[in-house]
């Protein structure tokens, strides 16, 4: 009798075991299928979160460097709008020295003025124009205007020669005219030194040092001619 009961129990257990195994297998397959179906969405959420973090880091870098919060787009969707608390960003200053000489002769009498000027030329960006950051999984594009010379400040003027003729005297208008020429010469010398191009390279270097990304970071400057 005991042997028969064990035989009946074995016949009942095996189908139950197979059924249980089949149910567990179906559940596993269903879980794997759901995970695979939802993986792109989860990966997209993770990727978007990473891009948004990068957007905040880039925006913070511009705040530190330029006191500017640029417009940020992520995958062609506006994430942050631009605010402009300052009008210009100066990223490069250069000491400029120029000289100019004025010589005038009238009826055999000559007057001569020679001046030496020391200036500080500053190159940077016009922040009133549109500045945007476009963040994509494969690259980061920062669009901004070309750099330009934003100012030339006088530091010191030295009079190297001030010679009056016997009847050809240096007038106040003469001196004022000569003084006004020095800043123009400083602007020209700064432009010839291509300070705007150096300012663009300086900004690129500052961003590269501040922001470390897997995607390449490119500065794209507008095609308009630089304003000197």
- Write out pLDDT tens, residues 50-101: 777 777 777 777 777 666 677 777 766 655 555 655 566 778 889 999 999 9
Residue 120 domain-assigned (yes or no): yes
30 is a domain residue = no
Reported pTM: 0.63
47 in a structural domain: no
- Residue labelled with tokens 């990304």: 213
Check whether 228 has a pLDDT greater than 50.
Answer: no
**Alpha carbons 44 and 38: distance in angstroms, whole number:** 10
In a domain, 183, yes or no: yes
For 114, phi then psi, to 5°, come to -130, 125
Please state, in angstroms and as integers, the Cα–Cα distance from residue 181 to each residue in 99, 109, 191, following that order.
10, 24, 16
**Comparing C-alpha atoms, which of 134, 133, 138 is closest to residue 216?**
138
- The Cα 51–Cα 71 span in angstroms is 14
Residue 221: how many CA atoms within 13 Å on its side-chain side? 18
d(CA 210, CA 42): 29
Q: Is residue 15 part of a domain?
A: no
Judged by DSSP in three states, 225 sits in: coil
Q: Report the domain count for the chain.
A: 1
Question: Sorting pLDDT into bands at 50, 70 and 90, what band is 184?
Answer: very high
User: Could you give the percent of the chain with pLDDT greater than 90?
Assistant: 17
pLDDT digits 0-9 by tens, 144-180:
888 889 889 999 999 999 888 888 888 889 889 989 9
Residue 102 lies in a domain: yes
d(C-alpha 217, C-alpha 211), whole Å: 9
Indicate the SS3 state at residue 93: strand
Structure tokens at 31: 């879980």
Q: Which two tokens stand for residue 105?
A: 């002769």
Q: Is residue 40 part of a domain?
A: no
In a domain, 135, yes or no: yes
Write out the residue range of the structural domain in which residue 187 sits: 54-221
């Amino acid at each position: 009798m005991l042997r028969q009961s064990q035989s009946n129990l074995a016949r009942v257990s095996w189908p139950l075991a197979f059924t249980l195994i089949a149910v567990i297998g179906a559940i596993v397959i269903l879980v794997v299928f759901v995970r695979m179906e939802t993986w792109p969405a989860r990966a997209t959420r993770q990727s978007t979160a990473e891009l948004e973090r990068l957007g905040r880091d880039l925006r913070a870098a511009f705040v530190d460097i330029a006191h500017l919060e640029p417009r940020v787009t992520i995958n062609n969707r506006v994430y942050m709008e631009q605010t402009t608390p300052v009008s210009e960003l100066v990223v490069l200053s250069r000491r400029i020295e120029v000289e100019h000489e004025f010589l005038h002769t009238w009826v055999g009498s000559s007057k001569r003025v020679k001046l030496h000027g020391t200036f500080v030329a500053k190159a940077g960006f016009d922040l009133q124009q549109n500045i945007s950051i476009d963040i994509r999984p494969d690259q980061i594009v920062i669009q901004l205007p070309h750099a330009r010379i934003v100012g030339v400040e006088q530091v010191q003027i030295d009079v190297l020669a001030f010679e009056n003729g016997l009847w050809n005297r240096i007038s106040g208008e003469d001196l004022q005219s000569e003084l006004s020429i020095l800043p123009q010469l400083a602007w020209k010398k700064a432009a010839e030194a291509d300070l705007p191009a150096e300012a663009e390279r300086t900004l690129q270097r500052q961003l590269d040092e501040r922001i470390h990304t897997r995607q390449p970071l490119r500065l794209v400057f507008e095609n308009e001619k630089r304003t000197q």
